[in-house]
């Protein structure tokens, strides 16, 4: 991708290096113990819990200084995601304007280890996610390394696809799609909701493709091999692939994001058409 020297978004909240400090409850006590259990439950490391249970003397809820003790690589990763976020702002503002709507920029929180979101505690192991309650994308940039090494999806465009997917959820939120799904959720069984979740996620993949389509037309951001990196990443995070890797077998009824083939196909459909009207994954049959 061509990304250096381009605009970086102002909507990045970089709290890396702050670690668990944001979770410190004054004086510890029962509240801290509950939070510690939540952190552990969410896959937090024991160090995070220690930090919560034994707050440093006089620990208060001060925001850590951004870029404190960041390595050059970490700093560069922060610049990269700020450029991608800016690209999503430029594309979605234009697309919304064409629909007679106004796009509200989301914020992106860069954290390390654990933090608190409007949707509950966030830890590195939960992976990047979008919280509709506070309209923020949360990402521990260590995930980008994991994408490359553990999920075998290297390349800068693989990372851009992940960010564009999360911003896709923000687009769904603004279009009222998330609220609709949420309303229907209370009437569904777990298995039924999983099917709806797959449709929601595949649409976010589609929207990531739509973003790539328009970003390329507006700014010529793509280098040879970029779309292949995105396609590879989309299939690397398919439920079937991940289940086969982690547990050795596949349980389709537990899928929440779609198969590798579906994720790749919807991403590509968005990229090729750039047309929001082509992305109704809720009516698509077969999906």
Residue 51 or 165: which CB sits closer to Zn ion?
Answer: 165
* Helix, strand, coil percent values for the chain (each to nearest 5): 55, 10, 35
Q: In this structure, what token pair is assigned to residue 97? A: 């304007």
- Using the contact rule CB under 5 A, the part of the chain among 95-103, 133-141, 202-210, 267-275 near Zn ion is 202-210
262 burial level (CB within 10 Å; 0-12, 13-18, 19+): buried
The least CB distance from residue 204 to Zn ion, in Å, is: 5
Residue 25 or 122: which CB sits closer to Zn ion?
Answer: 122
Residue 9 or 172: which CB sits closer to Zn ion?
Answer: 172
The least CB distance from residue 133 to Zn ion, in Å, is: 16
The least CB distance from residue 165 to Zn ion, in Å, is: 6
The least CB distance from residue 72 to Zn ion, in Å, is: 30
Residues 74-93 that bind Zn ion (CB under 5 A): none
Residue 25 or 167: which CB sits closer to Zn ion?
Answer: 167
59 burial level (CB within 10 Å; 0-12, 13-18, 19+): middle
What is the Cα 237 distance to its own chain's centre? 12
29 burial level (CB within 10 Å; 0-12, 13-18, 19+): exposed
Residue 22 or 199: which CB sits closer to Zn ion?
Answer: 199
Please tell me the distance from the alpha carbon of residue 199 to that of residue 188, in angstroms, as a whole number. Answer: 15
Count interface residues toward Zn ion (CB under 5 A): 2
The least CB distance from residue 236 to Zn ion, in Å, is: 14
- Using the contact rule CB under 5 A, the part of the chain among 7-15, 73-81, 110-118, 199-207 near Zn ion is 199-207
* Residue 230 CB contacts under 8 Å (≥ 6 apart), including other chains: 157, 158, 160, 161, 208, 209, 212, 267, 271
- Using the contact rule CB under 5 A, the part of the chain among 63-71, 133-141, 173-181, 201-209 near Zn ion is 201-209
Binding positions for Zn ion, rule: CB under 5 A: 201, 204
């Amino acid at each position: 991708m061509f990304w250096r020297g381009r605009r970086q978004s102002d909507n990045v909240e970089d709290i890396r290096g702050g670690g668990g400090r944001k979770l410190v409850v004054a004086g510890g006590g029962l509240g801290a113990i509950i939070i510690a259990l939540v952190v552990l439950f969410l896959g937090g490391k024991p160090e995070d819990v220690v930090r919560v249970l034994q707050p440093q003397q006089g620990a208060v809820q001060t925001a850590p200084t951004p870029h404190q003790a960041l390595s050059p690589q970490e700093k560069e990763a922060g610049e990269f995601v700020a450029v991608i976020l800016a690209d999503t702002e430029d594309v979605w503002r234009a697309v919304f304007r064409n629909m007679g709507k106004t796009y509200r920029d989301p914020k992106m929180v860069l954290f390390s280890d654990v933090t608190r979101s409007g949707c509950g505690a966030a830890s590195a192991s939960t992976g990047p996610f979008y919280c509709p309650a506070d309209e923020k994308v949360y990402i521990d940039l260590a995930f980008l390394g994991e994408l490359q090494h553990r999920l075998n999806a290297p390349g800068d465009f693989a990372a851009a696809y992940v960010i564009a997917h999360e911003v896709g959820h923000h687009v769904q939120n603004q279009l009222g799609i998330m609220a609709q799904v949420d309303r229907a959720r209370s009437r569904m069984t777990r298995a039924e909701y999983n099917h709806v979740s797959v449709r929601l996620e595949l649409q976010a993949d589609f929207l990531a493709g739509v973003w790539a389509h328009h970003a390329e037309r507006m700014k010529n951001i793509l280098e040879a091999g970029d779309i292949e990196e995105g396609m590879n990443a989309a299939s690397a995070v398919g439920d079937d692939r991940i289940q086969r890797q982690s547990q050795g077998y596949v349980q389709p009824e537990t899928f929440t994001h779609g198969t590798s083939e579906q994720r790749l196909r919807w991403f590509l459909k968005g990229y090729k058409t750039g047309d929001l009207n082509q992305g109704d994954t809720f009516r698509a049959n077969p999906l």
